[in-house]
Structure 1
Amino acid sequence: MDQSTSVTELNGVPMTNTPHLLAEDRPEFERILDEALRDGSIVESLRAPGPHLNSEQLRTKTLLAADTVAAAAASEYEHYTGLRANLRQSDDSSVSAGGLSTRLHSEDGAGFFPVLTVLTPILAWAAAAVLLLIGYSLRATDPELALGKAVVTAGWISIAVGIAALSVGIIGLLLTALRDGSAMPYGQDRQLSDDVAEARLAWHTALRDRAILPYLHGNLDSEPALSPQPATRPTPPDLLSPGYSTASYSSPGFTSPGVEGLTDQEGRQPRAAEFSSPGYSPPGFTNPDEG
């Protein structure tokens, strides 16, 4: 037998073993499992009298065997994951091309014409203000002076040029916005996206009808799955159990000082206290008559 196509059994039926479910698809498997547990046939079987697994035990056992259960919908899953990979590759290529195109457009757009459309109105209106100020000043001095009339006319022409340049810039911005808005965003292949959505729905249907529901029905009367047991901690000894003895403690040995509370110079051997009473002698008095 070819190593790439090993065989496994699901409810006694041999079938091709597919690669494990991807981590991103396991939440979908769990969601479809919850829907299958709410199916009418499963609910009726769970309510039937007799020894059988409950809903939570069935759910745990199916999740632990997710790769084996999902093998019944192998062809739909392979088709779905293949289309999804193609869509992601197409999106990545389109985003890369779009980034390059945007960069080239930005480099080309920063040319003479855009700068001219921005600077022309500003320069034209600044020149118009200066020309009109000078022209009307000259006309105020001498109304018949031809130079004054020419300067005023030049000022009004500058205003018109600025308005025309501003209008051209606004029209260019509108055309650019309309062009960008009508273009399809990068990375969106409508047909391929529809194919991926259809393949995903087909996998969900096959996973529910051909994989999960038969597995649930086939394992109602089976043994429950053994969940991993947590590591046990050592229990403390029972103080009330027979044969248990508490630890013995003894107080440190102390020796009291000697009878009189004194020791020798080294502080080890008690010795008797020695006292000597002070000597007193009565004062000598003489009779004053004898004196």
Structure 2
Amino acid sequence: MHMNVAPHLLTEDRAEYERVLDDALSTAHARPELDGIGTRLTVAQLRAMTLNATALITSAAASEYDHFVKVREQSRAPAGPRTPLADPGAGAGVVAIVTVMVPVLAGTAAAIFLLVGAVLHAIAPTMVFGGTLLTAGLVFAALAAAGLLSAGAGLLLTALRNSPAAAEGATAADDELAHAREAWRRALLERGILPFLRDVLAATGPPDTPRP
């Protein structure tokens, strides 16, 4: 059955609402106030009615939900710009390969050019090509040194990003988000879903059953 979504309930939180409802229905046998489930109304009927009353039920926990959404947005905001730096996907893999290979290849080329240039220069000091190879070897040696410095800087940034302080900050944000979600779930259950189920069961009781 289609579920009416309250204006303040985001689409991504529909599943969480249904999970809280399903948990309440699955543990109804332990709640004396819900003893009418299965006799007056079935679980499926109560679930459908509760889903149709989503706007009414979620409004009972609106303040906790607004806080939860705010904390979630704050936890997501700083992670956006840093994602490319910490992305373990293909892009980060290519950058890592290039960072490692540049000093290796440049160093190898520098060694070859310097060796060949030195041999040619020793055999024929007047040959221009020998001097050219020596110059190229020095250029590649400089590239290798720059590549090593770049790799070292990358390792330093990675170490800083994974430092205990950064990890503690992320853990604190995750804990705050978890507490906000749990506070919303508890308010949704205690002030929204359970009272609604009690009222529905009381309203469908036998004529001699006292109704609130």
Alignment TM class, shorter chain as reference: 0.5 to 0.7
Structure-2 residue corresponding to 1:71? 59
Matched letter for residue 201 of structure 1: E
Distance in 1, Cα, partners of 2:175 & 2:23: 24
Q: How far 1:172 moved relative to its partner?
A: 1.9
Contact 2:114-2:138 at 8 Å conserved across structures: no
Distance in 1, Cα, partners of 2:174 & 2:190: 25
1:45 aligns with 2:45: no
Structure-2 residue corresponding to 1:176? 153
Closer/same/farther in 2, CA of residues 176 and 42 from structure 1, 3 Å limit: farther
Structure-2 residue corresponding to 1:126? 113
Structure-2 residue corresponding to 1:202? 183
Residue segments in structure 2 that go unaligned for 5+ positions in a row: 1-5, 86-101, 126-130, 205-212
Q: Counterparts in 2 of 1:1-291, with a 5 A limit?
A: 19-39=7-27, 40-41=30-31, 45-46=35-36, 51-92=39-80, 94-95=81-82, 122-123=109-110, 125-132=112-119, 135=122, 168-169=145-146, 171-184=148-161, 190=170, 191-222=172-203
Closer/same/farther in 2, CA of residues 44 and 194 from structure 1, 3 Å limit: closer
Bigger relative contact order, structure 1 or 2 (CA pairs below 8 A, ≥6 apart): 2
Matched letter for residue 158 of structure 2: G
Q: How far 1:117 moved relative to its partner?
A: 9.8
Matched letter for residue 200 of structure 1: R
Q: How far 1:27 moved relative to its partner?
A: 1.3
4+ residue stretches of structure 1 with deviation over 6 A?
A: 115-118, 160-164
Q: How far 1:180 moved relative to its partner?
A: 2.7
Q: How far 1:201 moved relative to its partner?
A: 1.2
* Structure having the higher Rg: 1
Matched letter for residue 49 of structure 2: K
Q: How far 1:174 moved relative to its partner?
A: 3.8
Closer/same/farther in 2, CA of residues 69 and 116 from structure 1, 3 Å limit: closer
Distance in 2, Cα, partners of 1:67 & 1:203: 15
Percent identity over paired residues: 31
Structure-2 residue corresponding to 1:9? none
Matched letter for residue 122 of structure 1: A
Aligned residue for 1:21, secondary structure, equals coil
Contact 1:33-1:208 at 8 Å conserved across structures: yes
TM-score after normalising by structure 1: 0.45
Contact 2:110-2:141 at 8 Å conserved across structures: no
Q: How far 1:209 moved relative to its partner?
A: 2.2
Q: Over the residues paired in the alignment, what is the CA RMSD in angstroms?
A: 4.2
Distance in 2, Cα, partners of 1:71 & 1:203: 11
Q: How far 1:29 moved relative to its partner?
A: 0.5
Q: How far 1:24 moved relative to its partner?
A: 1.8
Closer/same/farther in 2, CA of residues 42 and 177 from structure 1, 3 Å limit: farther
Distance in 1, Cα, partners of 2:14 & 2:47: 14
Structure number having the greater helix percentage: 2
Distance in 2, Cα, partners of 1:89 & 1:216: 38
How many pairs align?
Answer: 167
Closer/same/farther in 2, CA of residues 132 and 77 from structure 1, 3 Å limit: same
Residue deviations 1:202-261 (CA, integer Å, cap 9, x gap): 1011112222122212212445xxxxxxxxxxxxxxxxxxxxxxxxxxxxxxxxxxxxxx
Matched letter for residue 178 of structure 1: L
